[in-house]
C-alpha cells in the first residue's frame, strides 16, 4: 500500500510539473521570414594571399598526419608535400562572411578576414562574384569596410544594441566552413563583455553556433535588424563550444563613418593604466565594496595627468555613467571625440572628487603591462627581499625620479600570495612612496598587523596595484 501511494504521489507531482512547463513547441520563434528577407544582404568573402612556400612547410622532421582523402588534400594544399619544391610563391586562401550596408556596394566584415589579402572576392546571394577593394580597416575593433562595383543591392536594416536584453533570441547568417547562407540561432548570453586582447569593444556574447567562415557575418534580432558582427569564438578545439562574441553594430558604424570621413579611426584616451578593484584592494582603500577602475599608472603628457588624476585614484563615474568594473571604462572613453570635455568622479583617500578634462587621442604605441618571472627566497615577515636600484637598472626600466626598490627574491609569504614577482619594482607601500630599501624596511615596520594594504609596483613598463595582507 505504501508503494502504491508513493507511486501515485510521484505521478501526480510529475503531471503538475509537466502541466506547468512554460515552453511549448508553438512558443518558439519562427525564423523563416527573417532568413528569407535577410539572406540576400549577406555575402561570402574569400581572399587570396601570396606567401613563400617555405613559410607553409611543416617543421623539419615532421610528417603529415594520416587523414581522409578530402582532409589530406586540404592539408597538402596549405602545407605542401615534404618532398616538393620549397621555392617560389603559393596561394593561401581564407573564407569569411560580410553584409551589405549600402545599395551602392559598401560592405562590412572583420579586419581579420581580409588582413594582408592580395585579392578579395565577394560572392552575392545571386551567385555573382565580384572583386572588392579595401576602403579601410581598424584592427583594434576588428572592423573592415570594403566596396564592390554594383548598384541597387539589398541592404540590411540597422538595429539598436542598447535595447538588447540577456536571454533574447538572435540569429546569425554566414558561411561556416564555406557553406553559404547557413543560419544558426541562439540567445544573448551577456552584454558589454570585455576580452583580454580587445579593450575598446563591449562585445555581445551569445550561444549562437559560430564557426570558421562565420566571421564578419551579421547577427540579427527577431525584428530582422542587425545588432552585431560575429567576430570571435572561445574554443579549445577550434570549433564552436557555446561562446560566441559579436561587435555591437553601433560600434562598427562609428568605425565606418570615421573611415569614410578621414580614412582612419581615432579614439579617445585618458592616459592612464587601470585595473580592477578586488575585494582585497577595496578593503585596503577603505571602500565598502569593490567597484570602479583603479589607476595604476598615469602616463606622461596625457590628459589625466594634466587634469590632476593620481595613481591610486579609483574612477567611479565617467560622464555620468557609473563604472562598476575597470573593463567598462575603455569603451566609453574610446568612443569620445578627441578634444571633447569629460567629467570624471574619482575616489581618493576615501573622499569623492570631480575632475574635468579634455579627452586626448589614443596613440598607436599604447603601453601595455606584461608579466615577469618568479623568485624563491625571503628574509622578512612579508616573504621577499628588496634592493636599491642601480643607475643602469633605473635607465633600463625607464624609471623617472629617485624612488622605487627592486624585488630580488620572493619566497613563501604575503608577497607571493599577493602576486609579487622577482624583478618587480615597488613604487609605494600603503600609499606612501618608497625612496630606498632602507625606507621600505622602515615602512614595513609601521604596517598595521592583520590588515590589507595596497602595494604599487612596476612590471615590464606597466604599473599594477597588489593587495598585500600584513601578517599578525
What is the tens place of the pLDDT at every residue in 275-313?
889 898 888 888 888 999 999 888 888 899 999 999 999
Three-state SS at 310 = coil
Say if residues 463 and 273 touch (Cβ distance below 8 Å). Answer: yes
Per-residue pLDDT for 86 more than 60? Answer: no
pLDDT at position 119, please?
A: 93
Assign 194 a pLDDT band (cuts: 50, 70, 90): confident
Q: Write down the domain spans for the chain.
A: 36-60+68-148, 157-262, 268-361, 384-469
pLDDT at position 149, please?
A: 95
Say if residues 79 and 58 touch (Cβ distance below 8 Å). Answer: yes
* Residue 200 or residue 368, greater confidence: 200
Instruction: Look up 30 and say whether it is catalytic.
Output: no
Bridge-based pairing of strands 314-318 and 272-276 is: unpaired
pLDDT at position 87, please?
A: 55
- 324: cell is 562598476
Class of domain 157-262: mainly beta
Number of C-beta neighbours around residue 311 at 10 A: 19
Instruction: Look up 142 and say whether it is catalytic.
Output: yes
CA dist., res. 342 & res. 346, Å (int): 13
Assign 53 a pLDDT band (cuts: 50, 70, 90): low
pLDDT at position 355, please?
A: 94
Per-residue pLDDT for 342 more than 90? Answer: yes
Say if residues 318 and 309 touch (Cβ distance below 8 Å). Answer: no
The helix, strand and coil proportions of the chain, stated in percent and rounded to the nearest 5, come to 25, 35, 40
Per-residue pLDDT for 399 more than 90? Answer: no
Q: Which of the residue ranges 103-112, 216-225, 455-464 would you say has the lowest mean pLDDT?
A: 455-464
Name the E strands within 69-181. 89-100, 106-109, 119-123, 129-138, 143-148, 157-158, 169-174
Assign 204 a pLDDT band (cuts: 50, 70, 90): very high
Percent of the chain with pLDDT over 90: 44
Give CA angle at 330 (201, 97), nearest 5°: 10
Fold for 268-361, please state it. Answer: Pdz3 Domain (2.30.42)
* Residue 238 or residue 363, greater confidence: 363
Bridge-based pairing of strands 129-138 and 119-123 is: antiparallel
Fold for 36-60+68-148, please state it. Answer: Thrombin, subunit H (2.40.10)
The answer to whether the Cα torsion of 66, 68, 73, 75 is positive or negative is: negative
Query: Averaging pLDDT over each range in 118-132, 228-242, 373-387, which range is the top one?
Result: 118-132
In the block, which residue shows the cell 583594434?
A: 140
Per-residue pLDDT for 341 more than 70? Answer: yes
Number of H helices, E strands in the chain: 11, 27
The answer to whether the Cα torsion of 286, 287, 291, 292 is positive or negative is: negative
- 148: cell is 564592390
**86 phi and psi angles, rounded to 5 deg:** -95, 0
Rounded mean pLDDT, 188-196: 87
Please tell me which residue in 39, 112, 235, 276 is annotated as part of the active site.
Answer: 112
Per-residue pLDDT for 127 more than 80? Answer: yes
Assign 460 a pLDDT band (cuts: 50, 70, 90): confident
pLDDT at position 299, please?
A: 86
Q: Do domains 36-60+68-148 and 268-361 have the same CATH topology?
A: no
CA dist., res. 142 & res. 56, Å (int): 25
* Residue 356 or residue 395, greater confidence: 356
Per-residue pLDDT for 30 more than 80? Answer: yes
Rounded mean pLDDT, 188-203: 84
Assign 3 a pLDDT band (cuts: 50, 70, 90): very low
Helices (H), 80-228: 111-114
Closest CA to 147 of 109, 106, 103: 106
CA dihedral 390, 391, 395, 398 (to 10 degrees): 60
Say if residues 378 and 417 touch (Cβ distance below 8 Å). Answer: no
Please tell me which residue in 46, 175, 182, 215 is annotated as part of the active site.
Answer: 215
Q: What is the pLDDT of residues 154-180, one digit of tens each?
A: 999 999 999 999 999 999 999 998 888
Number of C-beta neighbours around residue 371 at 10 A: 9
* Residue 409 or residue 35, greater confidence: 35
244 strand-pairing partners: 206, 233
pLDDT at position 93, please?
A: 72
Closest CA to 55 of 26, 87, 29, 31: 87
Q: Which of the residue ranges 76-90, 174-188, 349-363 would you say has the lowest mean pLDDT?
A: 76-90
**107 phi and psi angles, rounded to 5 deg:** -130, 150
* Residue 238 or residue 443, greater confidence: 443
pLDDT at position 19, please?
A: 45
pLDDT at position 376, please?
A: 27
pLDDT at position 85, please?
A: 52
Instruction: Look up 231 and say whether it is catalytic.
Output: no
* Residue 385 or residue 58, greater confidence: 385
CA dist., res. 172 & res. 208, Å (int): 7
pLDDT at position 37, please?
A: 94
CA distances from 160 to 97, 157, 227, 366, 376 (A): 21, 10, 6, 31, 53
In the block, which residue shows the cell 564552436?
A: 240
Mean pLDDT (the chain, rounded): 82
Please tell me which residue in 142, 221, 225, 424 is annotated as part of the active site.
Answer: 142
Let me know if domain 384-469 sits in CATH 3.30.420.40: no
Q: Which of the residue ranges 231-240, 243-252, 456-465 would you say has the lowest mean pLDDT?
A: 231-240
Amino acid at each position: 500500500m505504501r508503494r502504491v501511494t508513493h507511486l501515485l504521489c510521484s505521478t501526480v507531482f510529475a503531471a503538475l510539473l509537466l502541466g506547468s512547463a512554460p515552453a511549448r513547441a508553438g512558443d518558439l520563434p519562427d525564423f523563416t521570414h527573417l532568413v528569407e528577407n535577410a539572406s540576400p544582404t549577406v555575402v561570402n568573402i574569400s581572399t587570396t594571399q601570396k606567401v613563400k612556400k617555405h613559410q607553409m612547410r611543416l617543421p623539419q622532421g615532421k610528417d603529415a598526419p594520416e587523414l581522409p582523402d578530402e582532409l589530406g588534400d586540404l592539408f597538402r594544399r596549405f602545407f605542401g608535400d615534404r618532398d616538393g619544391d620549397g621555392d617560389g610563391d603559393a596561394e593561401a586562401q581564407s573564407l569569411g562572411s560580410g553584409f551589405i550596408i549600402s545599395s551602392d556596394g559598401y560592405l562590412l566584415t572583420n579586419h581579420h578576414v581580409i588582413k594582408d589579402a592580395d585579392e578579395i572576392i565577394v560572392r552575392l546571394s545571386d551567385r555573382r562574384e565580384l572583386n572588392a577593394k579595401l576602403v579601410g580597416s581598424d584592427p583594434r575593433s576588428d572592423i573592415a569596410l570594403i566596396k564592390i562595383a554594383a548598384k541597387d543591392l539589398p541592404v540590411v536594416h540597422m538595429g539598436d544594441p542598447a535595447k538588447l536584453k540577456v536571454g533574447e533570441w538572435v540569429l546569425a547568417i554566414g558561411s561556416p566552413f564555406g557553406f553559404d547562407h547557413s543560419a544558426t540561432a541562439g540567445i544573448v548570453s551577456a552584454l558589454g563583455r570585455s576580452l583580454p586582447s580587445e579593450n575598446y569593444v563591449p562585445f555581445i556574447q551569445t550561444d549562437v553556433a559560430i564557426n570558421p567562415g562565420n566571421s564578419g557575418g551579421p547577427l540579427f534580432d527577431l525584428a530582422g535588424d542587425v545588432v552585431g558582427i560575429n567576430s570571435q569564438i572561445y574554443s579549445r578545439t577550434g570549433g564552436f563550444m557555446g561562446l560566441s562574441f559579436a561587435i555591437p553594430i553601433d560600434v562598427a558604424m562609428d568605425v565606418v563613418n570615421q573611415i569614410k570621413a578621414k580614412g582612419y579611426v581615432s579614439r579617445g584616451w585618458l592616459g592612464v593604466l587601470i585595473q580592477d578593484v578586488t575585494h582585497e584592494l577595496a578593503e585596503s582603500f577603505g571602500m565598502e565594496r569593490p567597484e570602479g577602475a583603479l589607476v595604476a599608472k598615469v602616463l606622461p603628457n596625457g590628459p589625466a595627468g594634466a587634469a590632476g588624476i593620481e595613481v591610486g585614484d579609483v574612477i567611479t563615474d565617467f560622464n555620468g555613467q557609473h563604472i562598476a568594473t575597470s573593463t567598462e571604462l575603455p569603451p566609453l572613453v574610446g568612443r569620445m571625440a578627441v578634444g571633447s570635455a569629460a567629467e570624471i568622479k574619482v575616489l581618493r583617500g576615501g573622499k569623492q572628487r570631480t575632475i574635468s578634462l579634455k579627452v586626448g587621442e589614443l596613440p598607436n604605441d599604447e603601453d601595455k603591462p606584461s608579466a615577469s618571472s618568479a623568485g624563491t627566497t625571503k628574509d622578512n615577515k612579508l616573504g621577499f627581499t628588496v634592493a636599491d636600484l642601480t643607475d643602469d637598472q633605473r635607465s633600463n626600466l625607464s624609471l623617472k625620479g629617485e624612488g622605487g626598490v627592486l624585488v630580488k627574491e620572493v619566497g613563501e609569504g604575503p608577497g607571493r600570495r599577493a602576486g609579487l614577482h622577482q624583478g618587480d619594482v615597488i613604487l609605494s607601500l600603503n600609499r606612501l612612496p618608497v625612496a630606498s630599501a632602507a625606507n621600505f624596511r622602515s615602512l614595513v615596520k609601521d604596517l598595521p598587523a592583520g590588515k590589507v594594504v595596497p602595494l604599487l609596483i612596476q612590471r615590464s613598463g606597466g604599473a599594477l596595484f597588489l593587495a598585500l595582507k600584513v601578517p599578525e
